[in-house]
Amino acid sequence: MTAAKQWSSEAIEAVLAAQGIPLAPGRAEKIATALNAATVSGTLCLELESDPSGYARALERCKAK
């Protein structure tokens, strides 16, 4: 289990500013709230060897017979 995420509006402002993205007024706090609420891995665990290309093979394995 990972620790709770701690995005703040200041962190969001800094992350977007570093990428050259101007942020509309009042948006940083909303984005921080949404990021803190988002789950990432759910209930699945992966092997170290898993990478995104495994999806193409899964489509093939799972297709309708």
Applying CB under 8 A, the residues found at the interface with other proteins are 7, 12, 15-16, 19-24, 27, 30-32, 34-35, 38-44, 46, 50-52, 54-55, 57-64
For 3, the enclosing helix (H) or strand (E) is none
DSSP 43: T
Least Å distance, CB 20 to other proteins, is 5
Question: For residues 9 and 28, is the Cβ–Cβ distance under 8 A?
Answer: yes
Least Å distance, CB 36 to other proteins, is 11
Least Å distance, CB 65 to other proteins, is 9
Question: For residues 32 and 8, is the Cβ–Cβ distance under 8 A?
Answer: yes
